[in-house]
Amino acid sequence: MYVDSEVSRLRTVLLHRPSAELARLTPRNNDSLLFDGIPWVSRAQEEHDAFAEALRSRGVEVLYLGELLAETLTVPEARAELTAGVLSARRLGDSLRAGVAGYLADQDPDRLGEILIAGLAHEEIKPGGGGLVYEMMDRHDFVIDPLPNLLFTRDSSVWVRDRVAVTSLAMRARRRETTLTHAIYRHHPRFVGAELLFDPTLEHVEGGDVLVLAPEVLAIGVGERTTPAGAERLAQRVIAAGLAHTVLAVPIAQERATMHLDTVCTMVDVDAVVMYPNLADSLQAWTVTGVGDELRVRPPRPFLEAAAEAMGIDRLRVIDTGLDPVTAEREQWDDGNNTLAIAPRLCVAYERNVETNAQLERAGIEVVRISGSELGSGRGGPRCMSCPIQRDPLH
Encode pLDDT of 157-213 as tens digits. 999 999 999 999 988 888 899 999 999 999 999 998 899 999 999 999 999 999 999
pLDDT digits (tens, 9 = 90+) for 243-284: 999 999 999 876 544 578 988 889 999 999 998 877 777 899
| Residue-level pLDDT at 28 | 73
Name the pLDDT band for 374 (thresholds 50, 70, 90): confident
pLDDT at residue 32, as a whole number: 65
CA 238 to each of CA 89, 231, 344, 387: distance values in angstroms, whole numbers, following the listed order:
33, 11, 24, 18
144 with 118: CB under 8 angstroms?
no
pLDDT digits (tens, 9 = 90+) for 18-63: 998 888 877 776 766 666 677 788 898 999 999 999 999 999 999 9
Pairwise CA distance, residues 59 & 336, whole Å: 24
Question: 2 pLDDT exceeds 90?
Answer: yes
CA atoms of 4 and 267, how far apart (whole Å): 13
List phi, psi (to 5°) of 248: -100, 120
Residues in the chain: 395
Kind plus residue range of the DSSP H or E element containing 197: strand 195-198
Buried (b) or exposed (e) across 111-148, using 16+ Cβ within 10 A?
ebbbbbbbbbbeeebebeeebebbeebeeeebbbbbbb
pLDDT range class, residue 130, cuts 50, 70, 90: low
Q: What percent of the chain has pLDDT over 90?
A: 64
Q: Are the beta carbons of 380 and 153 closer than 8 angstroms?
A: no
pLDDT of residue 103: 93
Question: Would you list the DSSP string of 300-347?
Answer: EEEHHHHHHHHHTSS--EEEESSSSHHHHHHHHHTTTT--EEEETTEE
Q: Which pLDDT belongs to residue 234?
A: 96
Tell how far CA 268 is from the center of its chain. 18
Residue type at 333 in one-letter notation: W
The model's confidence at residue 320, banded by pLDDT at 50, 70 and 90, is confident
CB atoms within 10 A of CB 167: 31
pLDDT at 4: 95
Exposed / middle / buried, residue 57 (Cβ in 10 Å: 0-12, 13-18, 19+): exposed
Is the CB of residue 163 less than 8 Å from the CB of residue 241? yes
**Distance, CA of 160 to CA of 147 (rounded, Å):** 25
Report the Cα–Cα distance between both ends of the chain, in Å, rounded: 16
State the CB neighbour count (10 A cutoff) for residue 361.
12
Q: Is 349 helix (H, G, I), strand (E, B) or coil?
A: strand
Average pLDDT over residues 227-246: 94
Q: Which of 118, 147, 119, 151 lies closest to 14, judged by CA?
A: 151
Position 329 confidence tier, pLDDT thresholds 50, 70, 90: low
**How confident is the prediction for the chain on average, in pLDDT?**
88
Residues serving a catalytic function are 384
- pLDDT category, 330, cuts 50, 70, 90? low
Residue 12 neighbours by CB under 8 Å, 6+ apart: 1, 60, 61, 62, 63, 388, 389, 390
pLDDT at site 172: 83
Residues facing residue 2 across a β-bridge: 390
The rounded distance, in Å, linking the Cα atoms of 378 and 367 is: 22
Q: pTM to 2 decimals?
A: 0.90
